[in-house]
């Protein structure tokens, strides 16, 4: 029989939202996971993607672009709250009225994760899996070191794009076509 003292205390998304601190955290199946600060290259690529997406999405009123401080409640009981580095939610899926002060209930349409120097393969795969299971229609995993974007629409058929390829938003971000190289240039 497992020792009850070694079992972690699970918390809800609402309890997670009230935790103090400025360090990056996510809630994964009720357990808080602290993440290290990813650094300048990571931040530069994430901000470049945010700008490029916003330049396409905002004038067309397709929806909203969010950065990593935005939490998305992907599952309940136990709760999972993920904060993709960059994300997009279609206009028709946004909450009516003002955006909530807390987390957004449900998955984004697009979630992008920029690999940090200390990212592990299993941690990234877990995030991709969580997003796809929750209903995210496209997940991008951006690797600044080798200048690639891996596009997931399903868990078993990723496409790897090099900096010479074009990222197509397909039906997720209609009309979006951007050179992968643009993500890595200031």
Identify the CATH number of the domain in which residue 26 sits: 3.90.1570.10
151 class by beta-carbon count within 10 Å (0-12 exposed, 13-18 middle, 19+ buried): middle
C-alpha distances in Å from residue 86, one per residue of 20, 30, 38, 40: 23, 23, 14, 15
Domain count, the chain: 1
Give yes or no for residue 155 having a pLDDT over 80. no
User: Which pLDDT belongs to residue 35?
Assistant: 83
Q: In whole angstroms, give the CA distance from residue 139 to residue 59.
A: 23
The phi, psi pair for 23, rounded to 5°, reads -80, 150
Q: In the predicted model, is pLDDT for residue 3 greater than 60?
A: no
Residue with structure tokens 């596009």?
151
What distance separates the 2 farthest-apart alpha carbons in the chain?
59
**Token couple for 139:** 């997940």
Residues 6+ apart with CB under 8 A from 92: 63
Helix (H, G, I), strand (E, B) or coil at 184: helix
* Mean pLDDT of all residues in 66-78: 92
| Pair of tokens at residue 13 | 């998304």
Which residue range forms the structural domain that includes residue 42? 4-184
Do the strands 138-143 and 110-114 form a parallel or antiparallel pair, or are they unpaired? Answer: parallel
Kindly report the pTM of this predicted structure.
Answer: 0.92
CA 75 vs CA 37, 65, 66, 111, 132: distances in Å: 25, 21, 19, 16, 12
Average pLDDT over the chain, rounded to whole? 91
């Amino acid at each position: 029989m497992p020792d009850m003292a070694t079992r972690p205390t699970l918390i809800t998304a609402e309890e997670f939202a009230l935790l103090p601190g400025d360090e990056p955290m996510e809630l994964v199946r009720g357990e808080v996971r602290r993440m290290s600060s990813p650094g300048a290259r990571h931040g530069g690529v994430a901000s470049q993607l945010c700008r490029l997406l916003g330049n396409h999405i905002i004038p067309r009123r397709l929806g909203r672009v969010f950065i990593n401080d935005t939490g998305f409640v992907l599952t309940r009981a136990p709760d999972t709250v993920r904060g993709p580095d960059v994300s997009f939610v279609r206009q028709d899926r946004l909450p009516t009225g003002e955006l909530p002060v807390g987390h957004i209930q449900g998955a984004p349409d697009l979630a992008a994760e920029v690999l940090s120097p200390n990212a592990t393969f299993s941690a990234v795969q877990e995030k991709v899996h969580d997003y796809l299971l929750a209903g995210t229609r496209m997940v991008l995993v951006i690797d600044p070191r080798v200048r690639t974007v891996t596009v997931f629409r399903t868990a078993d058929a990723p496409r790897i794009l090099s900096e010479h390829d074009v990222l197509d938003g397909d039906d997720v971000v209609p009309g979006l076509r951007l050179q992968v190289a643009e993500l890595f240039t200031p």
